Structure formats: C-alpha cells, structure tokens
C-alpha cells in the first residue's frame, strides 16, 4: 500500500465520523486491523477502513456489542458462511431487544407509580421513592 492511497488516523477518523481515540480503541479491541506504519511511525490505514468503521458504528447503533460486532465482521469476510448465520444473530439480538423493552416498560410503570405517590405527599413527609427502594 502506498502512502498516497493510505489514510492517516486523523483523515480516517474524520471520514468515518469518529474520534482518533475511537479508532485506536477499535484497533486495540481487534475490530480494526493494526495498520502498517510509515517510516516516521505514523499509522497508515487502507481506504476500506472507512467502511469498516462505519459498519462498526452502525452495528453499535443497532445494539450489537463489540464482541457481537467482531463476530459479524468475521462472518462478513467468510465466503463459506451463509447469510443465515447473520440472520440468526440478528434474530437473537431482536429477541434481546424485545426482552429489554418488556423490562423497561415494567420499570416505567413502577417509576410512574412512585412519582405519583410522591406528588401526593406533604413536603415534610418522608420520600416515598426512597422508602420504596429501602423496602425492596
């Protein structure tokens, strides 16, 4: 890879819409391959690193963990693995999201009850939210 076709960390970060520390973090986590370095020691990333970083960010936005993203990246380059493997992981993530939504709805109802109880109390009385937490 020539230096003309490679990207510095700053150019890569800007093109992908992330910070330099994010690029370094993904590199440490194994999500972004360690790039070759120039004679002066600067990282020189291949142009396809921009797409890889964008993939990572989009996957995070969909709720995938870094470990899950690492697996997806491995599947992405494996020509033998069928799309069904990726679909399976997406279905697992969807089920996880559904479970979290159910739990969040339950938590929302509980907090709404506590806030309503708080509004009914006199200013000098004990806080019903703290009382509820202590009792549990």
Helix, strand, coil percentages in the chain from 3-state DSSP, rounded to 5: 65, 5, 35
Across-strand partners of 37?
A: 43
Please name the helix (run of DSSP H) or strand (run of DSSP E) that holds residue 84, with its range, or none: helix 83-119
For residue 5, what pLDDT band results from cuts at 50, 70 and 90? confident
Q: Note the pLDDT tens digit of each residue in 54-77.
A: 999 999 999 999 999 998 888 877
Listed range (5-14, 92-101, 106-115) with the worst mean pLDDT: 106-115
**60 Cβ neighbours under 8 A, 6+ residues apart:** 66, 69
- Per-residue confidence (pLDDT) for residue 61, from 0 to 100: 92
């Amino acid at each position: 890879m020539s230096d003309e076709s490679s990207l510095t960390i700053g150019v890569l970060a800007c093109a992908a819409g992330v910070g330099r520390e994010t690029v370094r973090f993904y590199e440490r986590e194994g999500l972004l391959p360690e790039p070759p370095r120039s004679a002066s020691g600067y990282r020189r990333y291949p142009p396809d690193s921009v797409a890889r970083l964008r993939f990572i960010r989009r996957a995070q936005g969909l709720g995938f963990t870094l470990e899950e993203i690492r697996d997806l990246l491995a599947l992405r380059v494996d020509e033998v693995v069928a799309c069904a493997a990726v679909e399976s992981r997406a279905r697992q993530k969807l089920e996880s999201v559904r479970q979290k939504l159910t739990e969040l709805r339950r938590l929302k109802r509980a907090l709404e009850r506590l806030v309503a109880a708080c509004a009914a109390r006199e200013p000098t009385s004990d806080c019903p939210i703290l009382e509820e937490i202590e009792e549990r």
